[in-house]
Chain A
Amino acid sequence: MTESLIIIILSIFLVLPIILKILGRKNLPLSISVSYLLGLSIWTYLLFILNTKGITFSLKNVLVVYSFLLALFFFAVRFFKSKSYNSVRRVGNNKNYKNVFMDNKILLIVISLLLIFTFIANLYWPVKDWDSLVLYDFRAKLFAEHGGMKEAIEQGYFTSYPLMTSLSHMLVYLFNVSASPMLLYEGFYLSILIIFYYSLKILRTSTRVTLFFTLALMGYGIIFEQSTVSYTNLPYTAYLFTGYIFLLLWLKNGKVTSIFLSALFTGLSGWVRFAEPFWIVIVIVASLLFWLKKKRFYISVYILSVYLLRLPWSLFVESVSGPVPYAAKSISKTLPFLTQGARLENIKNVLSYLYVNVILEYGIVILFYVVLFYFVFMNLKKRLDLTFISDLLVVSGIIGTICLGTFLFSILVESWFQIGDSLRRMSMIIVPFAIFASARLFDHVYKER
Chain B
Amino acid sequence: MRAIKPEKLYFLVFTALILLPPITEIFTYHGFIKKHLFIDAGYIVTFGLFLLIIVYKKYIGVFDKGYYFYAGSFITLAIFLISAVLEEYNYPNYVFTKFHINYKNAPLLVAALFTGGFVNSAVKYLSKIVKKNPSIFLIISFLSAVFIFKQAKYISVSVMRIFPLIIAKPGLSYSEKLYYFWDNPVKYLDYVSILTNENASIYLPTSTSAQEITGNIGLVRYFLYPRKLNLYDPEKSVDGYVIASPGNELGDGNFNNWPDFDIECEFFYLIDLKNQSVNFVKSEFSSGLISGDTWALIKI
Contact = CB atoms under 8 A, between A and B. Distances in A.
Interface of A: 106, 114, 117, 120-121, 124-126, 128, 130, 133-135, 137-138, 142, 155, 157, 178, 216, 219-222, 224-225, 228, 364-365, 367-368, 371-372, 374-375, 379-380, 445-446, 448-449
Interface in B157-213: 158-159, 162-163, 166, 170, 174, 177-178, 181-182
A367 B140 CA distance: 10
B130 interface: yes
B163 A365 contact: no
B128 A449 contact: yes
A228 B162 contact: yes
Interface residues on B, range: 35 or more
Contact of A114 (B67, B131, B155, B166): B155
A379 B151 contact: no
Contacts of B218: 134-135, 157
Contacts, number: 98
A134 B128 contact: no
A128 B136 contact: no
A364 B219 contact: no
Nearest to A121: B162
A403 B22 CA distance: 35
A130 B219 contact: yes
A126 B177 contact: yes
B150 A368 contact: no
A371 B166 contact: no
A446 B170 CA distance: 45
Given A155-B221, A221-B151, 10 more contacts: A106-B70, A124-B170, A126-B177, A134-B222, A216-B151, A219-B155, A221-B150, A221-B155, A228-B158, A364-B150
A101 B197 CA distance: 60
Given A126-B177, A225-B158, A219 B166 contact: no
A268 B69 CA distance: 44
Contacts of A379: 132-133, 136
A124 B166 contact: yes
A172 to B, nearest CB: 14
A224 B158 contact: yes
B122 to A, nearest CB: 8
The A contact surface, by secondary structure, is helix
B181 A371 contact: no
A125 B172 CA distance: 10
Contacts of B146: 364
Nearest to B132: A379
B174 A225 contact: no
A158 to B, nearest CB: 11
A445 B158 contact: no
A138 B140 contact: no
A374 B143 CA distance: 14
B162 A134 contact: no
Query: Most A CB atoms within 10 A — which of B147, B151, B170, B178?
Result: B151
B154 A224 contact: yes
Contacts of A178: 174
A135 B166 CA distance: 26
B136 A375 contact: yes
A371 B139 contact: yes
B154 A216 contact: no
Contacts of B121: 106
B30 interface: no
B154 A221 contact: yes
Contacts of A114: 155
Given A126-B177, A225-B158, A449 B143 contact: no
Interface string B116-156: 01000100000011111100100110011011001111110
